[in-house]
Chain A
Amino acid sequence: MASKLSYVQAVSSVNPSFWNKLTEIKLNVDKLSESPRPVWGYFTLLSKTTVNQPLIELDSTSFNSDFNGQNMYVPFKGKVINKNTVEDFKECNKQDVINTEGKCLCENIVSGEAIKNPVLLNSFLLLTFADLKKYHYYYWFSFPVPSGLVLEKFSAKIISEEFNSDRLKQLYVAFQALDAMNKTYFIIENQNDKLLVHSLSSKLSELTAESTTDIYFAFFNISMDNKSIGSQLRNYAALILHHCPFLKGKTQKFVAVSVTRHGSEVGLDTSVIYNLLLPDVSTDKFDSWVGWEKNERDKMGPRVANMKNTLDPKIIAENSVYLNLKLMKWRIVPDINLEVTENAKCLLIGAGTLGCAVARCLLGWGVRNITFADNGYVSHSNPVRQSLYTYEDALSMKAKSEVAPKNLEKIFPGVNAKGVHICIPMPGHSVGESMLKQTVEAVQVLTDLIKDHDIIFLLTDSRESRWLPTLLGCYHKKIVINSALGFDSYLVMRHGCSSDTSNNPELVQDIEGYKIIDGDNLGCYFCNDVTAPGDSMKNRTLDQQCTVTRPGVAQIAGALAVELAVSILQHEKRIKAPAFYKISSKAEDLDPEIENQCILGLIPHSIRGFLSSFNQMLPATMKYDKCVACSDVILNEYKEKGIDFLLKVFDSSKHLEDVTKLTEMLADFDMDEILEFSDEEIE
């Protein structure tokens, strides 16, 4: 009794390197051309035991002109048609597309081309649209076979029932001697109990109605089980019927070849011999073709591969950067909160040596939002010390606020870097009538910037330019990290924040040998000074105006500023984290409570370093109640009078001393003895 054959269709499995290569070819070679490009697909010669679907694989070698099966793969020969628009991809008539391909296959059968090159019977078509901006690949495979060709099965038996194992071993050797193209479809002849293997081109034309009794039409069966057959058998039957018309309406023996392994033995033992009834049809009747692959929802429709994470170099860079940080979390500091660092918005006031060093170190921590505020232009002396600028930038005299974010993005495209060109109004730099509007605007811009950011880095080269951001940072309760450089010394400190309740600056609690100052009560950069910041540019020689420093100082201080900021972010109290300082020389070892203040260690108030002795110390100081920048008097004055107060200060820094009543106090001192902050005095 004849019964229906059960077919399986190839199941596409695309390697990422295929999409990579397709992209490369589209961009560099094909460009707008939509003409079909030949591609190879391949099956593993050895039947898979772990997967029950016949996987046809494509990878970057699919585009090679010659197939390299390495004796492990059996080829399929296809075409990729890469459409230029998603509309073309979706709207082109799929029946026409597959019919055109089928017609082409039919021509190869009729002309005999498919006898010389049997892999042509394993035709496939891949219709694609590559959205190269998003790295989305729309694709649809089809494996055309004629719909009007019906084969019926009379019998089926495992090959080992017909041939003994010696025969099968010979058969396997002969099969392996065929080249990859001829492994797809070939002829086995049973000649006096010897099994001979012939390529189609060497045997098919000799066949007659009489000689076919000892002939087996063999084909490599892509199916993973021995109950079903790859759908391409119908193409093989079409070829046989066209070139051996005497077989129409006759039964004929076929061998569905499969290669399996048992222990150390590889062979064809699981192949199946079929007795099939060939229909009485002719090739010119094949006008309708079928074979589109179903998608992952088991529907007739295309698939989409979102390859952004795999192929977009920006995403790869981003993932690698965060992987480095994740490794820290996985292996060393499991409790670190990387998100809080990543999402911290950082404002860098000053984009010079310090600004560049801070920005680069922030990148290392995966910080995404970095804004530069600067009023300078790249000069020829800058690039060697300021790591975000090049000679080219100096030649074109570009604004640092413009170049720094651009170059930061060149280093890491995932960063959201901005620049604001701004002159920060300073105490004692008087504002004339003509400058008034500009100054008021600058105050507004700076205020907005500070409100919009979480961490404010003060990295300018003068003392007075830090005054306004110090005041605003304190007023808006931001984390303010200040860094200043001497020739061979540096200061990195965090500013205390304004407290909600006006409590007395008191020491919270003591650990033996240490004093603790609460974050609310820590001083700012100006707290140790008893003069208001004046115009430090006046009456100064060139070497005094510019910061002349040992080149490494800024790198060290910049890195410390970032690490201090990151440690603060990891403390549950953030800016209100207390600071410790040693009061007894007996306290040699750090108390564990101090050492483990946050998961990254302790959080000092300030770090003062001296390159001459390669020494560093961690002083902590309290807020000064007459401080010209962060004291309650000043904050209240600003709260009440706002810009009017600021303008008065810009006109004369003495106003600050009046407000804080420093003037009265200073009257008692001899001014000549009061020096500006100098590192050597700290000890």
Chain B
Amino acid sequence: MDTGFSYDNFEKCITEIVNVSNKLLDGWKIESKQDCDAKFMTKKHSTYLDGLDGSKTLVTFEYHVAYSLSYGVPVLCFNIWRQDGTMLTIEEYWSLNQSLKDSNMHDTLTQMDHPVLCRPFLTLHPCKTSEFFQPFLENSKNPVVSWLSVVGSFVHLQLLEDYIKCC
């Protein structure tokens, strides 16, 4: 799909993000797969999720921001695991998110293969991504930052002010 946002644009954006992150110890890093040129950006984040019964579950998110060739936009993939390493399913994650109850889970989240690692990840629906992403292409110097700042809230990903300055 031609969105006018190429992989090279993407790599420039994530490099910029990682440079800012390094100064702030914010945890973003660039990764790649062996024998593959495509780079992606990852970060881990631990937090508590509130259950319906008032219980708190300690979880760790691992975010991956990679470029999807088929959609021509970045995709936000993530995995969530408990303290012992067992992963949360899409339904389990949703049930631990009281704040998201108003939105339709399947319009927002899906499970897809990671564009680079080719393993299943929970993914912010890429159709939604194109929708959100398009307006930023014209107005933002770093569309990846602009997009993440909008969609991050679905996955407990908060973007610091310093990144917004890049846009």
Enumerate chain A interface residues (CB-CB to B < 8 A). 11-16, 18-19, 44-46, 48, 50-51, 53, 55, 57, 70-72, 137, 139, 259, 261, 263-264, 266, 296, 303-307, 309-310, 316, 319-320, 323, 327, 330-331
Contact = CB atoms under 8 A, between A and B. Distances in A.
A305 B25 contact: no
Interface stretch (B6-14, B77-85, B95-103, B146-154): B77-85
Given A261-B24, A320-B120, A323-B111, A16 B83 contact: no
Q: What band does the interface of chain B fall in when counting residues whose beta carbon is under 8 Å from A?
A: 20 to 34
B110 interface: yes
Contacts of A296: 83-84
A505 B75 CA distance: 59
B85 A307 contact: yes
A266 B48 CA distance: 24
B60 interface: yes
Q: Is the interface of A mostly helix, strand, loop or mixed?
A: mixed
24 contacts: A11-B83, A13-B58, A15-B81, A16-B81, A16-B85, A44-B25, A46-B25, A48-B46, A50-B46, A70-B29, A71-B25, A72-B27, A72-B29, A137-B84, A139-B84, A305-B84, A305-B86, A306-B86, A307-B86, A310-B81, A316-B120, A319-B120, A320-B120, A331-B106
Nearest to A306: B86
A259 B86 contact: no
Interface string B88-119: 01000000000000000010001100000000
Given A48-B46, A72-B25, A13 B161 contact: no
A333 to B, nearest CB: 12
B140 interface: no
Given A14-B83, A16-B81, 14 more contacts: A12-B83, A13-B58, A15-B60, A19-B85, A44-B27, A45-B25, A50-B45, A50-B46, A266-B23, A296-B84, A305-B84, A309-B86, A310-B86, A327-B106
B87 interface: yes
A51 B156 CA distance: 13
A13 B48 CA distance: 13
A572 to B, nearest CB: 25
A48 B48 CA distance: 12
Interface of B: 22-27, 29, 44-48, 58, 60, 62, 79, 81, 83-87, 89, 106, 110-111, 120, 160-162
Contacts of B83: 11-14, 296
Given A15-B81, A16-B81, A330-B106, A310 B87 contact: yes
Contacts of B87: 16, 309-310
Contacts of A70: 29
A18 B26 CA distance: 23
A330 B104 CA distance: 10
B25 A266 contact: yes
A309 B62 CA distance: 18
Contact of A310 (B22, B24, B85): B85
B46 A51 contact: yes
A303 B81 CA distance: 15
B82 to A, nearest CB: 8
A50 B47 contact: yes
